[in-house]
Amino acid sequence: MYIIGENIHIISSKVKEAIKEKDAKFFQEIAVKQVEAGAQALDLNLGPRKKDGEELFPWLVGVVEEVVDVPLSFDTTNLAAIEAGLKKITKAQPIINSTSADPERLEKVPLVAKKYNTKLIALTMGTGMIPVTADERVNIAVEQLIPRMLEIDFPVTDLIIDPLVLTVSGCQEYCPELIEAIRTLQYVWDPSPHISVGLSNVSNAVPNANRPLINQVYCAMLMGVGLKMMIADPLDKELMEVVRIIEERDESTALSKAYLGISDKIGEMEEVTTDQFDLDDPEQKAIWKTVQILMNQVIYADSYLEQ
Amino acid sequence: MALELPKDKWSGSVQEVVIGATAADGGTRTAAVTVGGETTMPFVHFEAETPNRPVLALEIKDFRPNDWSTLLLDVWGEATNDPGAWAKAAEEAGADLLLLSLSLTDPEGNPNTPEAAVKAAKAVLEGSGLPLMVYGPGQAEVDNELLVPVANACQGERIVLGICEDKNYRTLVATAMANGHLVVGRAPMDVNLSKQLNILIKDAGLPLDRVLMDPTTGALGYGIEYGFSVMERLRLAALRGDAMTQSPMSVNVGFETWKTKESKVGDDVPETWGDWEERAISWETITAITLIEAGADIVILRHPESLKRVRAAIDNLITAPELS
């Protein structure tokens, strides 16, 4: 699993504060921490930064590249800020996060990606409603995103398609759709583009205490259909453990068997069933309840674990 | 050749809930009303019978309302000045149960008081033998201030207290538990929040056979399709065995439809809109029937003619058609 560390994110009040103070040490520490925890790239999500993006991104690139060698992912809608940051890159091939099928963005962003030889994350959404069914998402990739890359001769192998994780709290019925979108997307083009998702989005608007479990179980499901790249929190030790269990096919504990079982069943297009879990074990029971909400079999509620 | 109808097999059912208590059960109602108990999607006769008919409530007020349509004030006439008389008139109009919704202020604009609320509830219980629902004016603090004494005064009558919301449910649940009443919980057209509220109410100690849910719906032309699919999803989840979505559903059709422009406005509308009263009644009737098809167990109405028409529609829906 190729993990793009998500922790430099404007939603965090500490990050906001560090931007304001131009606190280089803060960003260096959080960068090193993520890489040491297993991140193979770092997402830099600073929001649109309309006023100071063209100054802030280059500054941050310099700060972060002083301490880590991994690719940096420019996560903003501000294309000028991205370009300013890209000029400053001296180490690994960076990532632009992101374009979409919005005609204006799809026109401009891939050209920048090509000019600076970056990888490019492309979201399966256009200008209208976020597409929700697996087919709609795949169609946007096949009919709009990939053709644009071919048109400008941008290598499809540098393209990273993000079929959009939606939150289980409010968009529950589409959680299984994403699984199917990922399953299909791997076979729509040869050579295949990469596929990546923003995992933590699945637990947006979920109370903090329940977020890690939902992220972990969804991760096992998505790995079952072949997900090999994601923007996620590498500091979530339990999440990293789930990744390890599935990659190494670790069957040594009841818990690892439970996670592996979820991943395998989803991979085989079979239903995950209650008999795969020891319901006397509270941890496995919670995992089973989480499977049911993520597969849209039981309606999500904030207190779903207490039901 | 005989046609073999495909049937769904459901593992769950809607919770059966009894509203109102007769003398035998420690109350004074002439009859109790039972709702819920369904084991299929609405009126799928070839899978199972509908165990309890959807019931119709008429809404009455403690004070003559100054924000109700003149069509309603005219049809109820003098009764609107006296909750006991209004209750009696509503029973005579054919209601299965009554909703007494308490006002925020009296007609002079003074804040409503617990004494006045209790007096109105008592008058309604005396004016009619129907089971009763009582709603506060919809402001958390005032609701609690008015409904707790009403619940105490109506002890044993198995009334429905409303409305519980996620930010304000503990007081109502506690007083319902103490006095043998029921509650209705309302979430804003959201399956997740509806379910969450039921979990909270149950965790607060009220058994699920004393809980109703109001999924909130829109009137015809004002989001009814969204309300419909929320109700449909809740019912499907209930039939699949999710206990926290199995409460019978109560919808306030009168409240929703009488605030639409089509019902509210008689003058200066296109001529093609037709007769005002007929239009307003149709709006209420069609909204009600649609939501009954979505699985509503309790429908609250305001106009007696709407009640008659919805009743006739239920009579048709409830009996299995002859399949030839």
Range A264-268 average pLDDT:
98
Nearest to A300 among B192, B200, B240 (CB): B192
- pLDDT at A307 > cutoff 90: no
Do the beta carbons of residue A102 and residue A126 sit within 8 Å?
yes
Amino acid of residue A215: N
Indicate the length of chain B as a whole number.
Answer: 324
pLDDT digits (tens, 9 = 90+) for A157-178: 999 999 999 999 999 999 999 9
Q: Tokens 């509830």 appear where?
A: B121
Q: Tokens 């005396």 appear where?
A: B126
Do the beta carbons of residue A292 and residue A221 sit within 8 Å?
no
| Best mutation target, B11, B189, B195, to test chain A (most A CBs within 10 A) | B195
Q: How many domains does chain B have?
A: 1
Residue A129: what pLDDT? Answer: 85
Report chain A residues whose CB lies below 8 A from the CB of B190: 170
Tokens, residue A245: 């269990």
Q: Tokens 């001769």 appear where?
A: A153
Chain B: nearest CA to A131, how far in angstroms? Answer: 18
Q: How many domains does chain A have?
A: 1
Chain A: nearest CA to B277, how far in angstroms? Answer: 39
Minimum CA–CA partner of A172 in chain B: B192
Chain A: nearest CA to B171, how far in angstroms? Answer: 20
Strand ranges of the sheet holding B182-186, from the earlier edge strand across to the other edge: B211-214, B182-186, B160-164, B132-135, B97-101, B55-61, B298-301, B250-252
pLDDT digits (tens, 9 = 90+) for A217-241: 999 999 999 999 999 999 999 999 9
Q: Is residue A163 part of a domain?
A: yes
- pLDDT at B324 > cutoff 60: no
- On average, the pLDDT of chain A sits at 96
Amino acid of residue A219: C
Instruction: Provide the H-helix boundaries in chain A.
Output: 13-21, 24-36, 53-65, 79-88, 103-115, 134-140, 146-151, 175-185, 211-224, 237-248, 254-267, 282-294
A169 and B193: CB-CB below 8 Å?
no
Residue A211: what pLDDT? Answer: 97
- On average, the pLDDT of chain B sits at 96
How many residue pairs bridge chain A and chain B with CB atoms within 8 Å of each other?
36
Residue B74: what pLDDT? Answer: 97
A302 and B237: CB-CB below 8 Å?
no
Nearest to B199 among A169, A298, A306 (CB): A306
Which of B276, B258, B259 is CA-nearest to residue B267?
A: B276
B199 and A303: CB-CB below 8 Å?
yes
Instruction: Provide the H-helix boundaries in chain B.
Output: 70-76, 83-92, 114-127, 140-153, 170-179, 191-203, 224-239, 253-257, 261-264, 276-293, 304-318
Residue B3: what pLDDT? Answer: 81
Nearest to A301 among B195, B233, B240 (CB): B195
Residue B6: what pLDDT? Answer: 87
**One-character DSSP codes across A247-294:** HHT--SSHHHHHHHHHHHHHHTT----GGGS-TTSHHHHHHHHHHHHH
- pLDDT at A111 > cutoff 90: yes
pLDDT digits (tens, 9 = 90+) for B107-159: 999 999 999 999 999 999 999 999 999 999 999 999 999 999 999 999 999 99
Grouping H, G, I as helix, E, B as strand and the rest as coil, residue B17 is strand
Range A84-108 average pLDDT:
97
Q: Is residue A92 part of a domain?
A: yes
User: By the CB < 8 Å criterion, does A303 face chain B?
Assistant: yes
> Using alpha carbons only, what angle is made at residue B313 by residues B83 and B240, rounded to the nearest 5 degrees?
95
Which of A70, A69, A46 is CA-nearest to residue A59?
A: A46
CATH code (residue B67): 3.20.20.20
Grouping H, G, I as helix, E, B as strand and the rest as coil, residue B62 is coil
Range A125-151 average pLDDT:
94
B196 and A306: CB-CB below 8 Å?
no
Q: Is residue A61 part of a domain?
A: yes
A299 and B243: CB-CB below 8 Å?
no
Interface of A with B in 166-185 (CB under 8 A): 169-170, 172
Q: What share of chain B is helix, strand, coil (3-state, %, to 5)?
A: 45, 15, 40
Grouping H, G, I as helix, E, B as strand and the rest as coil, residue B234 is helix
Residue B323: what pLDDT? Answer: 64
- The residue segments making up the domain with residue B60 are 17-318
pLDDT digits (tens, 9 = 90+) for B213-236: 999 999 999 999 999 999 999 999
Range B21-42 average pLDDT:
97
Grouping H, G, I as helix, E, B as strand and the rest as coil, residue B96 is coil
Chain A: nearest CA to B200, how far in angstroms? Answer: 8
User: By the CB < 8 Å criterion, does A298 face chain B?
Assistant: yes
pLDDT digits (tens, 9 = 90+) for B184-224: 999 999 999 999 999 999 999 999 999 999 999 999 999 99
Range B236-257 average pLDDT:
96
B199 and A301: CB-CB below 8 Å?
yes
A299 and B193: CB-CB below 8 Å?
no
Q: Tokens 């919670």 appear where?
A: A286
Tokens, residue A301: 């509620």
pLDDT digits (tens, 9 = 90+) for A42-94: 999 998 899 999 999 999 999 999 999 999 999 999 999 999 999 999 999 99
Residue A128: what pLDDT? Answer: 84
Q: How far is CA B183 from CA B28, B149, B214, in A?
A: 19, 15, 10
